[in-house]
Structure 1
Amino acid sequence: MKKTNWIKPFYWVVAALFLSGCAAGGELNTDASTSSSSAQLSSDADHSAGSAADAPVQTDDSAIEEPAGGVHTKVIKVVDGDTFHVLYQKKVVTVRVLLIDTPETHHPSLGVQPYGPEASSNAHKLLDGKTVTLELAKNGGRDKYGRLLAYVFVDGRSFEALQLAAGLARVAYVYPPNTKYIDQLRAVEQQAKTKRLGVWSVNGYAAADGFHPDLMKGTDAYREIQERSKPANKPASASAESNSSPDGACQGKIKGNISSRGKIYHMPSDPYYKVTKAERCFKNRSEAENAGFRAAK
């Protein structure tokens, strides 16, 4: 009996120690499992964050992709910020860019407007000597002046978006069905507005009805235009154009006429040459076309 009573407490002690060890082992295993899971979650989160950071960020002026079926053509001459000449179907034609409007540089009545020269200069920088892609307008592709209407892509980027992003144009002339990229272009325009770039630097200058130069008075851009508008003191022989006579004749030279139909030149052989009152005279076709005039039809 004494031996049995002594052995029984011994078994209880061994059992207690065994259970204690199992409990301790289970706790350690749980911690290890939790630690492993936490490490995996942390690793997954880091990987996810890294992937987002490494993803390319699309800039506003590249949000419009160049169409696959566009017309590839060579730029012959830039006229201003939203108009240029190209070689199209073996002829030199004028392209008017869709959905944007830039300040004027040689309008017959509006003259030169603030940021017009900058818009024109940026167009030269982007287009001179380039082959561009034209996505032609859906409704025949011409405006009332006979200009080819198109979305324009240069080096794979939207020319309209680039002019808007620089603050050198406003979204305008929005006429269905030619509104394909209107949402993207308005987004780019809004970014320029927020940054107060170019035409958006003075409130009200660029508006839905056009540009308002009087609101720019006192700015560097306005003063620059005033300087440009001053007549140059050059001898008559230094000018590529010759002055018209008081009665609108050009002494047999090409007559340049400006009207609501635009800037048109008339050759001496044209039927209406004699009755046309010339506002400008040119020695040859090249001089007339370089000044923005087109041949009479």
Structure 2
Amino acid sequence: MAGCLSVIVIILMLYVLIKFPLAVIGLAIAGWGFYEWTVNRKLKAKTKAAPAILIVGLALALTGCVGTDTDEEAVEEVTEKVQTEESSEPEKETEETAPATNETPKKTTEDKPEEQADTEEKQPAKKPTETGGTTAHIPVELVKTIDGDTIKVRYNGQEENVRYLLIDTPETSHPRLGKQPFGEQAKERNRELVNSGELSIEFDIGDRTDKYGRLLAYVYVNGKSVQETLLREGLARVGYVYPPSTRHLTPFEAAESEAKAKKIGIWSIEDYATDSGFDTEASGQQSSAASAPASTSGAASGGGGTSGGTTYDGDPNAQSGTTTEWFKNCTELRTKYPDGVPAGHPAYQSKMDRDKDNYACE
């Protein structure tokens, strides 16, 4: 039992020593002073040292106890203050952020008209012709007629070649195919049409240009389709159909069917106009059957020799009873007309009139 009490006492003393070290030191000094005072009293000696030591020890002990409590309270106060400040800071930040957030949209709203105005000033006005798929007829100025399905126009301040969409006409001066039957007639009819009124073009929803840089468009004169007119008169076929640029395909096919039924122009030569183009060999075979009338026509014109040319009937622009004769070159033409032919002759071709004196192959 005594051992347990001793242990408890020792533990308490250690606790007090750790908790109140200054107070313990003060008590020790006070005890020493009390001991000196007791000894001096027994000896009946008068001294001031013992009471002074006792007083200092007691004062130190009291200071140690009070100071510790004060320090703990100060620490607690500081801790509470720090915690309070930390908890209040987020609230302040929230309050500060909220006004800033509210002010930002206002600022954005206020600045938006100015930004829009700046953007409108910086960006050039959009050209109405730049939107794909427009059905508007865009006025253009004719520069020249190139062939039956191509013209040169002034568009957006620049000269551009325009290739007619969805149709194909015979060639007039192709480097490989040369001059094909009805090519010159198609070109002349095209020239007549595009010079007869107000010219305009219309783009489809597909590509606006081909691989050669030509504009792909529908062409109108006074609001009437040039393509449809050429198809209806048998001077063009429906061709180069590439979806999605097929807006006017149905009326074009109807116009082509009318010309086929009438067998006029390119349809007057059997198997000449095909889905892939124009077959010159087919036109040559038909000319063999018409060689006798052609020879008679040549004799009437003053020519001699055997016919080496090709005669084509059904030209919508020719006068009644006339025919068109086609030769690959001057050598072939001279086999029938040794002295050449003048302008207006059925066999006359401008490409054979190199000196432009209105007389071919003289």
Name the counterpart of 1:221.
Answer: 312
Alignment of 1:8-19 (within 5 A): none
Whether contact under 8 Å (1:76, 1:85) holds in the other structure is: yes
The root-mean-square deviation of aligned C-alpha atoms, in Å, is 2.4
Q: Report what 1:22 is aligned to.
A: none
Q: Matched residues, percent identical?
A: 40
182, 186, 205: which one pairs with 2:272?
A: 205
User: Are 1:184 and 2:251 an aligned pair?
Assistant: yes
Partners of 1:76 and 1:129 within 8 A in 2: no
Q: Contact 2:203–2:216 at 8 Å: present in 1 too?
A: yes
Amino acid paired to 1:158: S
**Could you tell me how far apart the structure 1 residues matched to 2:160 and 2:252 are?**
25
Consecutive unaligned residues of structure 2, counting only runs of 5 or more, are: 1-133, 288-309, 314-323, 328-346, 358-362
TM-fit CA distance, 1:153: 1.1
Rounded to whole Å, the distance in 1 between the matches of 2:176 and 2:165 is 23
1:175 pairs, out of 231, 237, 242, with 242
When the two structures are superposed, what TM-score results if normalisation uses the length of structure 2? 0.44
Q: Once the two structures are superposed, what CA deviation does each residue of 1:110-166 show, in whole Å capped at 9, x if it has no partner?
A: 110000000001001101274312111323410000000001111221111100011
User: Alignment partner of 1:220: what SS?
Assistant: strand
Distance 1:71 1:196, change over 3 A: same
8 Å contact kept, 2:204–2:246: no
Match of 1:196 in 2: 263
Equivalent positions of 1:35-184 (< 5 A) are 69-128=136-195, 130-184=197-251
Aligned letter for 1:120? K
The alpha-carbon distance between structure 1 residues 138 and 233, as it changes in their structure 2 partners (threshold 3 A), is: closer
Identify, as 1 or 2, the structure richer in helix: 2
Change in CA separation of 1:178 and 1:86 when aligned onto 2, cut-off 3 Å: same
TM-score (normalizing by structure 1): 0.53
Distance 2:135 2:240 in 1: 25
Deviation at 1:230, TM superposition (A): 7.9
Q: What is the CA distance between 1:215 and its match in structure 2?
A: 1.6
The code of the aligned residue for 1:155 comes to: N
Cα distance in 1 between the residues matched to 2:205 and 2:354: 48
State the 4+ residue runs in structure 1 displaced beyond 6 angstroms.
Answer: none
Report Cα offsets for 1:68-98 as digits up to 9, x if no partner. Answer: 6221111110000000000001011000000
Between the aligned partners of 1:155 and 1:231, the Cα distance in structure 2 is 35
* Contact 2:197–2:221 (8 Å) recurs in 1: yes
Greater share of strand residues, 1 or 2?
Answer: 1
3-state SS of 1:189 partner: helix
Q: Quick one: distance in 1 between partners of 2:210 and 2:147?
A: 17
CA gap of 1:76–1:232, structure 2 versus 1, over 3 A, is closer
CA distance in 1 between counterparts of 2:248 and 2:281 reads 31
Task: Give CA-to-partner distance per residue, 1:254-277, whole Å, 9 cap, x none.
Answer: xxxxxxxxxxxxxxxxxxxxxxxx
Larger Rg, first or second structure (1 or 2): 2
Q: Give 1:216 deviation, angstroms.
A: 1.7
Judged with a 3 Å threshold, the aligned counterparts in structure 2 of structure 1 residues 231 and 152 are, in CA distance, closer, same or farther, namely closer
CA distance in structure 1 between the partners assigned to 2:207 and 2:276 by the alignment: 25
- Structure 1 residues 140 and 197: alpha-carbon distance in aligned structure 2, compared to 1, 3 A threshold: same
TM-superposition CA deviations, 1:18-37 (whole Å, max 9, x none): xxxxxxxxxxxxxxxxxxxx
